[in-house]
């Protein structure tokens, strides 16, 4: 369920050809393991629609069809078992074609996500406003909503996306003030994993912290698993979701006497393998702040000279040589109580 009091759902999009059933299924299964809750795949050819039907049977999370231009592919995707379709009514064609898609979604009672982004604004809006603006994006989204509502269907999700962070934030504020429909939020074309995560965290942080957003996608040029990891971190850091290991690590300084950077990176990689835990894990470089921070966390390490203290539930439980710290943490996580 998207919207209302449901938790903000994390979604992503496959980047394999949908006609390649094996590759796309394998990617979705990896995404499920990472915590993805809704997955979207393009249905851009009849072969993709056939693949979509087979993929649907082999995965465990809702599968959304991403449609552009061809209303017949939207209908094929719905018949193939799509749990939701994403369309931009503006590029589907005339009213009859949009109606055919809406009727098919209505018959199966699946939601339609109407999406607009800065590249797909109606020409009259761009010309009138002298370019893409937040108000123009919100107006275009409401036009798309009205088009579908006029056809007698309101099982909708709205998305407005722009790669311009301040514009995207403003557009979301405008749309949230105009409708109660659920919003899919994200910063589009955010960039590579490194820059895109920052852009998404800034934009989504601002949007979500205003109480706006019902489902989220972080868009990155890279492995979609990174999108899911980033979305989870953003939601957790905003206090909107719990679950997983929250790694706290100090920045290191001249006092650090163990290879804390390698240890912290190894711990962060490790953390993604324990999505069922809900704990804070502190990796601290020395005894100045280390024990204090580590005691605040559920589990922690405070480094010394080539050794470290292992701290659990606020108590020092062992002193270990540096080489044994990681395996001791793994043992504790595997047997976490």
Which range in 8-16, 76-84, 108-116, 247-255 contacts ligand SF4 by CB under 6 A? 247-255
Could you say whether residue 255 binds ligand SF4 (CB under 6 A)?
Answer: yes
- Give the Cβ contact number of residue 217 at 10 Å: 27
Let me know: does 256 contact 289? Beta carbons within 8 Å: no
CB of 260 to ligand SF4, least distance (A): 7
Smallest separation (angstroms) from ligand SF4 to the CB of 312 = 18
Cβ contact 161:186 at 8 Å: yes
CA distances from residue 78 to 37, 195, 266, 316 in whole angstroms, order as listed: 19, 35, 43, 57
Q: Is 289 in the site for ligand SF4 (CB under 6 A)?
A: yes
Is 291 a binding residue for ligand SF4 by CB under 6 A? The answer is no
Nearest approach in angstroms of CB 1 to ligand SF4 is 43
> Which of 207, 211, 175 lies closest to 188 in space, CA to CA?
207
Shortest Å distance, C-beta 305 to ligand SF4: 12
For ligand SF4, the closer CB: 168 or 284:
284
Cβ contacts of 188 within 8 Å, gap of 6 or more: 117, 118, 161, 162, 163, 168, 219
Q: Does 239 bind ligand SF4 (CB under 6 A)?
A: no
Pick from 89, 224, 285, 308 the residue near ligand SF4 by CB under 6 A.
285
Per rule CB under 6 A, is residue 147 in the interface with ligand SF4?
no
Among the listed ranges 76-84, 107-115, 267-275, 278-286, the one in contact with ligand SF4 (CB under 6 A) is 278-286
Shortest distance, CB of residue 284 to ligand SF4, whole angstroms? 5
CB 90 within 8 A of CB 144: yes
**Helices 95-108 and 134-149 meet at what angle, rounded to 10?**
70
Asked if residue 317 binds ligand SF4 (CB under 6 A), the reply is no
**Is 253 one of the binding residues for ligand SF4 (CB under 6 A)?**
yes
Separation of alpha carbons 128 and 41, rounded Å: 34
> In the complex with ligand SF4, which residue's Cβ is closer, 45 or 289?
289
Distance (Å) of CA 140 to CA 75, 88, 119, 132, 175: 24, 10, 11, 11, 10
Q: How far is the CB of 259 from ligand SF4 (least distance, A)?
A: 12
Q: Does 250 bind ligand SF4 (CB under 6 A)?
A: yes
Of 2-10, 41-49, 88-96, 281-289, the segment contacting ligand SF4 by CB under 6 A is 281-289
Cβ proximity to ligand SF4, 145 vs 281, nearer residue: 281
- As a three-state string, the secondary structure of 228-259 is HHHHHHHHHHCCCCCCEEEEEECCCCCCCCCC
Smaller CB separation from ligand SF4, 248 or 270: 248
- Taking CA atoms, 21 is separated from 24, 35, 244, in Å, by 5, 21, 30
DSSP code per residue over 7-59: PPEEEEE--S-TT-HHHHHHHHHHHHHHT--EEEEE--SHHHHHHHHHHHHH-
Residue number, nearest CB to ligand SF4: 285
Q: How far is the CB of 58 from ligand SF4 (least distance, A)?
A: 46
Q: Is 290 in the site for ligand SF4 (CB under 6 A)?
A: yes
The answer to whether 267 contacts ligand SF4 (rule: CB under 6 A) is no
**Rule CB under 6 A: which residues touch ligand SF4?**
250-253, 255-256, 284-286, 288-290
């Amino acid at each position: 369920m998207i919207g209302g009091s449901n938790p903000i759902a994390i979604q992503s999009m496959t980047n394999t050809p949908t006609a390649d059933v094996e590759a796309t299924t394998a990617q979705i299964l990896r995404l499920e393991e990472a915590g993805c809750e809704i997955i979207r795949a393009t249905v851009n050819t009849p072969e993709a629609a056939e693949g979509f039907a087979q993929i649907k049977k082999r995965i465990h999370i809702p599968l959304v069809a991403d449609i552009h231009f061809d209303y017949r592919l939207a209908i094929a995707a719905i018949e193939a078992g799509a749990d939701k379709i994403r369309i931009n009514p503006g590029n589907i064609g005339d009213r009859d074609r949009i109606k055919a898609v809406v009727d098919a979604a209505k018959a199966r009672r699946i939601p339609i996500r109407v999406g607009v982004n800065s590249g797909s604004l109606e020409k009259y809006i761009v010309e009138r406003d002298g370019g893409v603006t937040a108000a123009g994006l919100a107006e275009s989204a409401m036009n798309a909503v009205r088009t579908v509502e006029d056809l007698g269907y309101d099982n909708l999700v709205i998305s407005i996306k722009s790669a311009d962070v301040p514009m995207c934030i403003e557009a979301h504020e405008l749309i949230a003030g105009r409708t109660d429909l659920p919003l899919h939020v994200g910063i589009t074309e955010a960039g590579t994993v490194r820059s895109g995560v920052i852009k998404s965290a800034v934009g989504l942080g601002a949007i979500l912290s205003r109480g706006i957003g019902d489902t989220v996608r972080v868009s990155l040029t890279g492995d979609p698993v990174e999108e899911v990891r980033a979305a989870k971190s953003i939601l957790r850091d905003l206090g909107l979701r719990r679950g997983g290991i929250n790694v706290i690590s100090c920045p290191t300084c001249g006092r650090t006497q163990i290879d804390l950077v390698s240890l912290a990176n190894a711990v962060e990689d490790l953390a993604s393998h324990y999505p069922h835990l809900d704990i804070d894990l502190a990796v601290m470089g020395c005894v100045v702040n280390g024990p204090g921070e580590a005691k605040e966390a559920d589990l922690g390490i405070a480094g010394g000279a080539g050794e470290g203290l292992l701290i659990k539930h606020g108590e020092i439980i062992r002193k270990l040589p540096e080489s044994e710290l990681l395996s001791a943490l793994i043992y504790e996580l595997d047997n976490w109580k």
